[in-house]
Amino acid sequence: MSRLSRILIVAVACVAPLFGPPAIADEYPSRPIRLIMPIGAGGSADALGRPFAEKLKVLLKQPIVIENRPGAQMSIGASYVAKSPPDGYTLLFMPGGQVLAPRLVSNLSYDPINDFTPITVVGRFGYVLASNPAQPFKTLPELIAYAHDHPGIVTIAVSDPVTRVGAELLRKDLALNLVIVPFKGGGEVATALLGNHVATALLFPGVFDPFQKDRRMTALAVTTASRLSALPDVPTVAESAKLPDYDLGSWFLLAGPAHLPNAVVDKLHHDAAQVLSDPAMINIIRSEFFEPVADATPQAARRTMHDYAFKMGKLFDETGVGPQ
């Protein structure tokens, strides 16, 4: 081979990457994406996740197929995503409670934090402390006074370990003899409260709202540190009960399996950020009783996972809450 031929070969080799196959970010996505919901259809995950996916698929230019895979404290759906190929075609609409799975499920087959690549927080939410209108209290201070005067009479319904923690904190921090009544889901809690079988309950705001409108439930307080946009007249537990540190809520975020390529993360985050900054999407988030987030970066999503696992882990230890 002549010296000129060798020079030409080297030159082509150097230039070839410039004209070679496009980067993965340009190729992705080239087929439909599956979005796994580890909660049953028709709940809070669907209320936020479906409109988010509808808008995201327009930017990604590929269908997003939603699959509900509930069960085992959300670990069935989460495990499925954790064990999927890290190619961006199987994603998880992750609830905050998923990171608490090690405390609630024995022999968990995946790490609820390290086996995922967080992309963005989609929305945060809190709970409503609601009462039946037939009860002799209409505000949280009135409930506190009544419970002090009638120990062991006031019941509070809960549907999961997080709301159980919220009820236990009220009982402990206010030194109240409340009777905590566990149920299997928010629907059962709402039914019990409507029938006045329990005096109060901690409910997701979207479950509570229809019954507030026809005056079959009364909002005493919300559990978040600040008031909810959709319920601006309802005070927080912190302000009503003089408990400045009381802050109980959760979130949903978009995640993929661990080791998702940076280019895929960047593409998903870029398009998701556009969706979440759209005023129409912000209105949907708030109308479904969620709150938009100020920092939607992957780094913020990872901090959210770690911080929630640490905070709720401490509260689980403090209140003695475990599997229901």
Domains and CATH numbers, the chain: 24-124+249-319 (3.40.190.150), 128-240 (3.40.190.10)
**Residue labelled with tokens 């609820």:** 112
C-alpha 262 chain-centroid distance: 24
Amino acid 56: pLDDT: 98
Residue 113 pLDDT grade (very low, low, confident, very high; cuts 50, 70, 90): very high
pLDDT > 60? residue 16 = no
Closest Cα partner for 202 from 216, 223, 184?
A: 223
pLDDT > 70? residue 239 = yes
How much is the CA Rg of the chain, to the nearest whole Å?
Answer: 24
Residues 6+ apart with CB under 8 A from 83: 109, 110, 257
Structure tokens at 229: 């946009």
pLDDT > 60? residue 124 = yes
**Residue labelled with tokens 């809070």:** 44
| For range 141-150, the mean pLDDT | 97
Partners of 92 in the beta sheet?
36, 255
CA–CA separation, 224 and 290 (whole Å):
11
CA–CA separation, 278 and 282 (whole Å):
6
User: Are 39 and 66 in contact, with CB atoms under 8 Å apart?
Assistant: no
| For range 149-168, the mean pLDDT | 95
Cis status of the peptide bond prior to 29, with omega within 30 of 0:
yes
| For range 16-22, the mean pLDDT | 40
pTM, two decimal places = 0.87
pLDDT > 60? residue 212 = yes
Q: How far is CA 319 from CA 26, 149, 200, in A?
A: 50, 24, 19
Look at 2-6, 34-38, 110-114 and tell me which has the smallest mean pLDDT.
2-6
Of 251 and 160, the one with more pLDDT = 251
Residue 17 pLDDT grade (very low, low, confident, very high; cuts 50, 70, 90): very low
Write out pLDDT tens, residues 36-71. 999 988 888 999 999 999 999 999 999 999 999 998
Amino acid 152: pLDDT: 96
pLDDT > 60? residue 4 = no
Look at 9-23, 111-125, 197-211 and tell me which has the smallest mean pLDDT.
9-23
Structure tokens at 53: 């996916």
CA–CA separation, 252 and 161 (whole Å):
17
Amino acid 194: pLDDT: 97
Q: Is 77 left (phi over 0), alpha (psi -120 to 50) or beta?
A: alpha
Amino acid 44: pLDDT: 86
Of 40 and 216, the one with more pLDDT = 216
| For range 146-158, the mean pLDDT | 97
